[in-house]
Amino acid sequence: MDTLLKQQSWRLIDHTMVNPAFDALQSYATDDTLCRSIGKKQEPPTVRAWVHDKTVSLGIQDSKLPKLKEGIRFLEEQGYRVVVRNSGGLGVVLDPEILNLSLVFPDVERGIAIDLGYETMFTLVKDMFAHSKAVIQAGEIEHSYCPGSFDLSIDRRKFAGISQRRMEKGVAVQIYLGVSGDQTKRAELIRDFYAISGKDEQEKYHFPNVDPAVMSTLAELLGEPDLTVNKVLVKLLNSMRFYAEHFYSGTLSPEEWDLFSGYYERILARNEKILA
């Protein structure tokens, strides 16, 4: 059994109800807050499930695109909000049919290896879909958006990507799961964004040549057209109960809410500076 998943207690924070007043920047500030409180062992390890309306979450490297303003204008014309997150990777799409999960736990004395963080999330996802005959693999899917060494795929078609955020002695491992919806349209959106933003007009950074054919959703890959975010959330709950002696639903503590405002102001100011 994976030692990072096996904890005495796990707290669940459910942010899967789409709320226009709770945007993606607030989600990233929430994970920073959790890193702080959990890193100091003031709160137990926490799994947070979150969903946002039409948003494109860019990585820091995306902010170096030579025609970023034109690319952002294009995304906004398609009805998407644009934010720059504080964890690794490149641009990804968020919408009500994409489930994001964050596993937040305290770092150990000598540090949790980066790959172990990724492997922990990989183990959880495999457990969640253990009923399926499909083989979930980890490894970079070239020409996907936000490619990485821990892309999750079935038959070499990507449905998920993992990133990490480490701060204040806390580790947040984050994943987006393409549950259902039009993944081709999402991939085309990111492909066109990079073209309009001038990715080929510079040589310093590498941006993917996005091919929609290499990406898909769990609903399609598992042959479960009625799969929904809520149904995947149930699979998460069933899996997490196996790993914890005490698994319970909760919210941010009063102390965490006090921390949250500072982290939100920080990431908000950073976005305003980058996207100005």
Q: pTM value?
A: 0.95
Mean pLDDT of 218-239: 97
Q: Which residue is it, tokens 């982290």?
A: 263
Mean pLDDT of 49-56: 97
Q: For the segment 22-33, what is each residue's pLDDT rounded down to a tens digit?
A: 999 999 999 999
Alpha-carbon span 36 to 55, nearest angstrom: 26
pLDDT for 111: 73
Alpha-carbon span 79 to 81, nearest angstrom: 7
Alpha-carbon span 197 to 63, nearest angstrom: 10
The answer to whether 35 is a known catalytic residue is: no
Please, which pLDDT band fits residue 61 given cuts at 50, 70 and 90? very high
Alpha-carbon span 210 to 143, nearest angstrom: 5
Q: Where are the domains of the chain?
A: 7-275
Q: For the segment 181-206, what is each residue's pLDDT rounded down to a tens digit?
A: 999 999 999 999 999 999 999 999 99
What DSSP letter does each residue of 205-231 carry, written as one string?
Answer: S------GGGB--HHHHTT-TT--HHH
What is the pLDDT of the chain when averaged over all its residues?
Answer: 95
Distance (Å) of CA 253 to CA 13, 113, 257? 11, 29, 6
Class of domain 7-275: alpha beta
What are the tokens at 272?
A: 């305003």
Supply the angle between the helices 254-275 and 24-39 in degrees, to the nearest 10: 130
DSSP strand pairing (81-84 vs 55-58): parallel
pLDDT for 1: 46
Rg (CA), the chain: 18
pLDDT for 110: 65
Nearest CA to 62 out of 28, 79, 86 is that of: 86
Residue 54 confidence (pLDDT) above 80: yes
Please, which pLDDT band fits residue 113 given cuts at 50, 70 and 90? confident
pLDDT for 114: 87
Please, which pLDDT band fits residue 233 given cuts at 50, 70 and 90? very high
Q: Where are the alpha helices (DSSP H) in 107-244?
A: 114-128, 183-196, 218-221, 229-243
Mean pLDDT of 252-269: 97
Contact 180, 219 (CB under 8 A): yes
Higher pLDDT residue, 111 or 125? Answer: 125
CA of residue 56 relative to chain centroid, distance:
12
Query: Which residue among 5, 93, 146, 218 is the active-site one?
Result: 146
